[in-house]
Chains A and B, each alone.
Chain A
Amino acid sequence: MRAVWMMILLIPSLSFGHSLSDSYLSVVLDDNRVRGEWLIAVRDLELAVGLDRNADGSVTWGEILERQSQIENHALSHIALSRSDVACDLTLEAPMLEELNSGVFVHLPLSGVCSGDGALHLTYNLQFDIDSSHRSIVTLKQGEEVQSAILSPSTRSAEFSPSSVSVFEQYRTFVLEGVWHIWIGLDHILFLVAILVPVVVRRHGTDAPAGWLQSGRSSRWSDFTMVTGILKVVTAFTVAHSITLVLATLGWIVLPTRLVESVIALSVALSGINILYPIFRGHQWQIAFAFGLVHGFGFAGVLADLSLPTQLFIGSLLSFNIGVEIGQLAIVLVLVPTLLILTNAVLTRRLTEAVAGIAITGCGLLWVAERY
């Protein structure tokens, strides 16, 4: 917009391109020690303490060093940190410089001792008497937790208390969510069942190497191949879905939900068919890996609905993944003995194969039709 000025006779120019006045204060609180850095724009220091001593329009490093004590006094007199009303004893170390998009900043390393306990209280008054549009972007790291605040003339203080939900509580919640999700996610369970049934059932058809036969240990050999087969399949599925769960949650790979859901349905249908007729032909673990990649995107979709907290983002994501693995392990521990019992006799083995194959294929195809 434009505006005409009579009394002042000026035309205000557009201003969003000019950088606004911000300072960045980052503090780490470790027991009773604080350390961190405070970045104050050279332009703001020019206005507050006057850096350009020779008035040539340029600020040199020498001019900053010349005004170092004024800068430090100015900074320290406009900030106060305390815990339970006991002021923290703060000191600034030798200044450095840092260049950001919005200009050059004097980087002041900061350290001190806060002998009080409880929440950390910050009072901030830098620049507000000169510039009401000044803001400070403050971050406080305490253990794994990062809190932030934006300070302005109307909000000149902030209190940082450890969040009410402990880190352990938060991780526990995400572990339980992971367990819960795999238990209620019928498509994931059916895929796991379908991929494991042939491994367990076909142990009877495994030929042991000659040495094993001669020593009369053929049944042990088949048990051994079954266990390694189960381990390979479950590990492949786990590794694959963990990879894509992380990648999708970090937003590095985003696939359309419909595509993911349809391929998951297809994976169930194909594994169902594989029970009835061996189409995977001994490539069980490779197939589990390939489809596991797609199931990972499905888990990520659920995690999205849970809204990961920005604090402890990675920890929560990993907790969810661990939950999924625990849930999966529980299923395998129940499923494998059940299948072993069911497949001991020829009749029940055939029946199990037929029922599981038909039911799982049916479900898979139904989902494919629904989701496509």
Chain B
Amino acid sequence: MNSSLSGLHFPYIKRFTILLALTLVTPGVGAQPYIPSGANTVVETLPESIIALSRKLRSEAPAHSTVGTERRATESLSEVELVAIQQQALAAYRVAAETGEPRAYGHTLALLERWPEGRPRPALIHVLSAAVLQHNHEFPEALAELISALAIEPNSAQAHLMRAQISLVTADYDTARESCLALRTLIRYPLAMNCQAQLDGVTGRAEQALAQVNDMLQRKGELSPQDHLELNITAAGIAHRLGRVADAERHYVAALQVSPASGYTLVNYAALLIENRRFDDVVSLLDSLDEGAMSTEMQILLAEALSARQDMHSRDRAQALTLAIQESFDAAVARGEGLPTKEFSRFALTLQQRPAEALAAALKNWALQKEPSDTLLLAQAARSAGDVEQLTEILRWAQLHGTQDVRLSTLLSAALADANADQGGA
């Protein structure tokens, strides 16, 4: 939150802005209560995620009432009830993971919190807790849960898989290597290979990794839709970073054919299109989604594409979208939560031209996660803010880990050459 306002001139304005943010999201200002004209007026069309969660809540109603608000002393829960908690939490997590609905993540957590303190927690409870923590970007806490799960079930494929994914995100490549290795004997070959290819792709062996994934994708008959999806996402990411735009696009499209709502794929594909100034394609890609299915990252990319188009209608839409994104950040502040640093950084950088704030947020994000897109964002923010020291540090880090990303290397060499020329000139 501080980062978002640190560029402002006076401390009292900062306070005033927070007050204003609270006022804006607090009803009474702007919005007016009303009574609809008739009983048949549709008040709200429920998103699929809420329908699924509501159905789930209705189905768990008996257990829900026994372990709900007026729950019995938790120590007295029977084995059957403990099994019910696990099943319900797993089912809630399914809804959360399928739909991305925050209320479903919140429900999973509410169910997990019903586990009695004095009773030993089974591996599933640890894994589900890790999944919710991972979703909230609480990586160290999630890893601790996974280690507990693996202590109970050393061959838990799910725990190893999640540990590998978190380690890849946090750039703890040694742990990722260990987990990928463990997975070789625990899961089917295509996905175990995919784990290794993801790691190789960010540690200096991108060419080999891409070739392997492409080979695997040729074996169509042996692959499940899940394999197709994962392998294509990995291949798209590596090709994207190697600057092979056509290959990357082919893999993104293939992944979207398997899973049209894959947020990760949509965001990266839209970024590829923006980098290649294909703004109309970005708009048609993201406009086809339901409003409720748009993540903030997608909204930012759509606003960037719209504002790059010349017509007034697009620019007006970009402006409205920018305002809506700002309001969602204000709401996060009003809830007493931190801003989502990655999203806020990109927003400040590309839509608000506030490089100092973008850099501060990108740094906070990078302290937490270091996927190639995080590193690139940090470098873009550092360049806009003219922070040569930070750019040098990123270069050192990228060289150390063997990062291969043409966008990053082009940006770094141009920015550092400019800086050297300035120094020479001075």
**8 Å CB contact of A24 from B11, B26, B36, B191:** B26
Q: Which residues of A contact B161 (CB under 8 A)?
A: 3-6
With both chains docked as a complex, state the minimum distance between the C-beta of B156 and any C-beta of chain A, in angstroms: 8
- Check if A310 sits within 8 Å of B39, measured CB to CB: no
Known: A11-B97, A251-B16, A303-B12. Is A58-B44 also a contact (CB below 8 A)?
yes
Q: Could you give, for residues 20-31 of chain B, a 1 whenever the CB lies within 8 Å of some chain A CB and a 0 otherwise?
A: 001001111001
Q: Could you give, for residues 124-140 of chain B, a 1 whenever the CB lies within 8 Å of some chain A CB and a 0 otherwise?
A: 00010001001100000
Q: Could you give, for residues 273-292 of chain A, a 1 whenever the CB lies within 8 Å of some chain B CB and a 0 otherwise?
A: 00000000000000000000
Classify chain B's interface size.
35 or more
**8 Å CB contact of A15 from B25, B39, B113, B295:** B295
A137 within 8 A of B: yes
Chain B minimum-CB-distance residue to A128? B110
Known: A17-B293, A18-B100. Is A6-B191 also a contact (CB below 8 A)?
yes
Chain A minimum-CB-distance residue to B137? A1
A175 within 8 A of B: no
In the complex, what distance in Å separates the CA atom of A257 from the CA atom of B9?
9
**8 Å CB contact of B110 from A8, A42, A103, A132:** A132
Instruction: From B28, B44, B340, name the one whose CB has the most chain A CB atoms within 10 angstroms.
Output: B44
In the complex, what distance in Å separates the CA atom of A310 from the CA atom of B267?
39
Given contacts A63-B43, A97-B35, A304-B11, list 17 more A-B pairs with CB under 8 A.
A1-B371, A5-B97, A6-B157, A6-B187, A12-B135, A13-B261, A13-B264, A14-B298, A18-B47, A43-B103, A44-B103, A46-B54, A50-B54, A57-B46, A61-B38, A101-B25, A130-B106
Known: A97-B34, A308-B12. Is A21-B106 also a contact (CB below 8 A)?
yes
Known: A20-B102, A43-B50, A98-B31. Is A135-B336 also a contact (CB below 8 A)?
yes
Instruction: From A7, A58, A313, name the one whose CB has the most chain B CB atoms within 10 angstroms.
Output: A7
Query: 7 closest A-B pairs (Cβ-Cβ)?
Result: A62-B39, A133-B106, A131-B106, A304-B10, A14-B263, A13-B100, A14-B295
Chain B minimum-CB-distance residue to A136? B335
- Check if B44 sits within 8 Å of A304, measured CB to CB: no
A204 within 8 A of B: no
- Check if A129 sits within 8 Å of B105, measured CB to CB: no
- Check if A96 sits within 8 Å of B22, measured CB to CB: no
B49 within 8 A of A: yes
- Check if B69 sits within 8 Å of A129, measured CB to CB: yes
B334 within 8 A of A: yes
In the complex, what distance in Å separates the CA atom of A137 from the CA atom of B18?
14
B327 within 8 A of A: yes
Known: A62-B39, A96-B33. Is A24-B16 also a contact (CB below 8 A)?
no
Chain A minimum-CB-distance residue to B292? A18
B41 within 8 A of A: yes
- Check if B54 sits within 8 Å of A18, measured CB to CB: no
**8 Å CB contact of B25 from A58, A137, A303, A305:** A137
- Check if A17 sits within 8 Å of B98, measured CB to CB: no
Stretch at the interface among B76-84, B225-233, B406-414, B418-426: B225-233
List A residues at the B interface (Cβ < 8 Å): 1-22, 24, 26, 37, 39, 42-44, 46-47, 50, 52, 57-65, 96-105, 107, 125, 128-135, 137, 139, 148, 150, 152-153, 249-251, 254, 257, 301, 303-310, 313
- Check if B35 sits within 8 Å of A8, measured CB to CB: no
- Check if A98 sits within 8 Å of B162, measured CB to CB: no
Instruction: From A16, A130, A148, name the one whose CB has the most chain B CB atoms within 10 angstroms.
Output: A16
B165 within 8 A of A: yes
Known: A8-B94, A46-B46. Is A105-B105 also a contact (CB below 8 A)?
no
- Check if B19 sits within 8 Å of A310, measured CB to CB: yes
- Check if B262 sits within 8 Å of A4, measured CB to CB: no
In the complex, what distance in Å separates the CA atom of A43 from the CA atom of B107?
13
In the complex, what distance in Å separates the CA atom of A59 from the CA atom of B45?
6
Known: A43-B103, A128-B110. Is A97-B43 also a contact (CB below 8 A)?
yes
Known: A16-B296, A61-B38, A137-B334. Is A46-B50 also a contact (CB below 8 A)?
yes
In the complex, what distance in Å separates the CA atom of A4 from the CA atom of B34?
45
B15 within 8 A of A: yes
- Check if B93 sits within 8 Å of A47, measured CB to CB: no
**8 Å CB contact of B169 from A1, A9, A18:** A1
- Check if A254 sits within 8 Å of B9, measured CB to CB: yes
Q: Could you give, for residues 141-181 of chain B, a 1 whenever the CB lies within 8 Å of some chain A CB and a 0 otherwise?
A: 00000000000000001100110010001000000000000
In the complex, what distance in Å separates the CA atom of A129 from the CA atom of B44?
24
